[in-house]
Structure 1
């Protein structure tokens, strides 16, 4: 069956299955970390497998040692609820709070899935546009305050923002916390990319009673396929949120052992990851500036990806994505994140081996030329 005869979930699954089946594919579209793992992390997971730990379920909130390590890493008050990936952490909060008659307020662009989950729960999703150089592509406290009221259940902030790469200051996070508290809403601070920011303040550090922070081990540690994340919450919310967790039998035992090992070696590991990330970003920036019609949206990026504006080139983002795919490189089109602004940009991940970054740069002129002639591009996700 061809891709064009499929629809819905099967089409999306076939798309990613074909990517996974492509040997040697360069993954630069999902913000995942493909830098070879730290030996201590591999050893911890292998040791767990050899010990047969995977034969039993993990504790429903995660191993106590990992829960404590996550909270210590964030340096916030609260309790960690370990989940099968950061997406399940966010889903738990959405399911607990969103109902018909409530609103879920977020930005546009953002990471789209929590908003879709909120809509499924019957909430009205309010997307605040931030694609604006006048505000440096960021949400302002005034814009947020004008869009929340007594109906607002959740305010969802991805910081650093995916896909833009901007990060908010402590004062901005404090203002968002105050607005949420005044409206009786809960602030969800998605901290997935915080380890790449020059400075980052988790909202729980400012408001330990009315904020939650989601974390992931997919981006900084490279455990995307292991599915491990957490929601860090005020202690009073554990009992409220736990019934809405999809991870009632615990997250992967093997993944938890790898995550805990990663936290133990995090300072040395992240020093090298950040070095490679910065080197790849600078190399790509130079190539983009030399490419007619392309430009950086945000520089420097505070995350492990770059948002590249294609508007002036006359090239559709989807066509450029397809041109790279045909050459063994996966990048992402803007419409994955936003319907309103998606025709303006591509996103390129940079926590990858440096030779992958060089490959992307070397292919850029050829891929742009090929993209101009691509009119029939299959569905992308």
Structure 2
């Protein structure tokens, strides 16, 4: 008897197949594949050599790392170290969201925090920002019209994933004021802030009515190590600690790598930003020569590009599958948004230059191949 696989099983098998391909070009998850800074690998290897992984870490994270994270953000507050940025956001949502409340976010956005809010019985309000009319950004007027005394959390991933837009200090200040006016908390997801020009974490403007989440997956390349943090007012972090699934501490080896990364961040980011920009320019120039494709946001303030595909008449899913068959993983728009997902693909750019060159060389042929695909499997 043939067993029908559940959605979670299919999703797991999809990513397991990708993970087993040691030649795969990963350009779909915004991960960083630039060879690591020697100080980071040395710190993790030293931790393993000392056998530190035999014991649990402190429940809020090593004090030295907590202090370094807060200092790096340039804010006043406290840090809760978690197993990845998604865990930080999940912890906050579990602590704050209840039935009858609203969780306000953008569309497109990073989808998992909204899913967590739904699991808590809250209503998710998605404000459309896709299109040049709003410059692919949330406006204060749109936000103000969509919040009330039921609103508990306003979630802003900035720079936006998948669009690559960012917000000015004035815009962030406006959002904080709107959140404060209804007794809500502005959740500023700063995962991609190190790729943006003049990024201002919301907590610098208001350490009480804003909270920040951070990640070491993208700028430092520790996605598989699962390390991130929630940074907020001490009382808020104490409240969230009771809802943390990292109650026995985040990974010891990952924390040592994260702290080493912060110690060399200024030097490291010069390399990362240089590679990222060269790759983005290469892809921009290639896209410009292909009818029907366009870069939706330039310059991107993140480590990826959002490529409009609607004018080609080809589904993003077919393009993604055509690339997958050639050993290149990119992302379809519907991963981020059901409403606008038919219009774009997303391509990561913190990768070796040869990977970006491979993507560019394949792109014209992949559009031709995608037109002929009649059986595109489920994508995740």
- TM-score grouping bracket, smaller chain normalisation: over 0.9
Partner of 1:213, secondary structure, is: strand
Q: Which residue of 2 aligns with 1:380?
A: 379
Q: Distance in 1 between matches of 2:26 and 2:297?
A: 22
| Separation of aligned partners in 1, 2:144 and 2:196 | 25
Q: Secondary structure at the match of 2:372?
A: coil
2:284 aligns to what?
285
The reply on whether 1:143 has 2:142 as its aligned counterpart is yes
2:118 aligns to what SS in structure 1? helix
2:154 maps to: 155
Distance in 2, Cα, partners of 1:272 & 1:299? 21
Aligned residues: 380
Question: What's 1:113 paired with?
Answer: 112
Aligned to 1:344: 343
The structure 1 segments of at least 4 consecutive aligned residues displaced by more than 2 Å after TM superposition are 4-7
Q: Which residue of 2 aligns with 1:274?
A: 273
Counterpart in 1 of 2:188? 189
Partner of 1:212: 211
The gaps in structure 1 that reach 5 residues or longer are none
SS of 2:200's equivalent in the other structure is: coil
Q: How far is the alpha carbon of 1:132 from its aligned partner?
A: 2.0
**Alpha-carbon separation, structure 1, partners of 2:237 and 2:216:** 21
Q: Residue 241 of structure 2 aligns to a residue in which SS?
A: helix
Is structure 2 residue 297 aligned with structure 1 residue 298?
Answer: yes
The normalised TM-score by structure 2 is 0.99
Which residue of structure 1 lines up, in the alignment, with residue 240 of structure 2?
241
**Aligned residue for 2:83?**
84
The normalised TM-score by structure 1 is 0.99
Is the CA contact (8 Å cut-off) linking 2:280 and 2:349 kept in structure 1? Answer: yes
Matched-pair contact (CA < 8 Å) for 2:231–2:237: no
Equivalent residue, structure 1, for 2:197: 198
| Residues 152-193 of structure 1: CA deviation (Å, up to 9, x unaligned) | 010000000000000000000000000000110011000000
The alpha-carbon deviation at position 87 of structure 1 amounts to 0.4
Change (3 A) 1:5 1:291: farther
Whole-angstrom CA distance in 2 between matches of 1:265 and 1:239 = 30
Q: Following the alignment from structure 1 to structure 2, what is the Cα–Cα distance between the partners of residues 262 and 23? A: 25
Q: Secondary structure at the match of 1:212?
A: strand
Q: Summarize the alignment of residues 170-189 of structure 1 with structure 2, pairs less than 5 Å apart.
A: 170-189=169-188
Alignment of 1:316-335 (within 5 A): 316-335=315-334
Structure 1 position 5, deviation (Å): 4.5
